Amino acid sequence: MPQFVIIARDGRDAEALARRLAARPAHFEGIGPMVARGEILVGGAMLDGEGRMTGSVVIVEFDSRADLDAWLAREPYVTGDVWREVEVLPLRTAVPDAFKPKG
């Protein structure tokens, strides 16, 4: 199944943190089932030097890029204008799978 890394940067305006905090409950509500289905493998907030949230990094696994794009179209951090720059890159994770005992 295709894997991707998403690097999403929040806006840099004065209201950016307020938008993130407003969208956060819906964001977490939506990603819970995705984690359970194995679509979101790892995710978290990027931080600046003072520990303020400035964006997100998410590693996902979807049946297709189209499925990933459909999720992004309804993701509250996108619809709520939190993530202003979203970069999606194909990925193939090696850790921990490559290091699991065989047999």
Q: What angle do CA 82, 84, 88 make, to 5 degrees?
A: 110
The predicted structure's pLDDT at residue 24? 97
Phi, psi angle pair for 84, to nearest 5°: -100, -25
The domain defined by 3-99 folds into Alpha-Beta Plaits (3.30.70)
pLDDT in tens, 39-90: 999 999 999 999 999 999 999 999 999 999 999 999 999 999 999 999 999 9
Each domain of the chain, given as residue ranges in start order, spans: 3-99
Closest CA to 16 of 101, 97, 90, 85: 85
Which three-class secondary structure state does DSSP give residue 81?
A: coil
The answer on pLDDT for 20 being more than 90 is: yes
Evaluate whether 63 touches 1 at the Cβ level (below 8 Å): yes
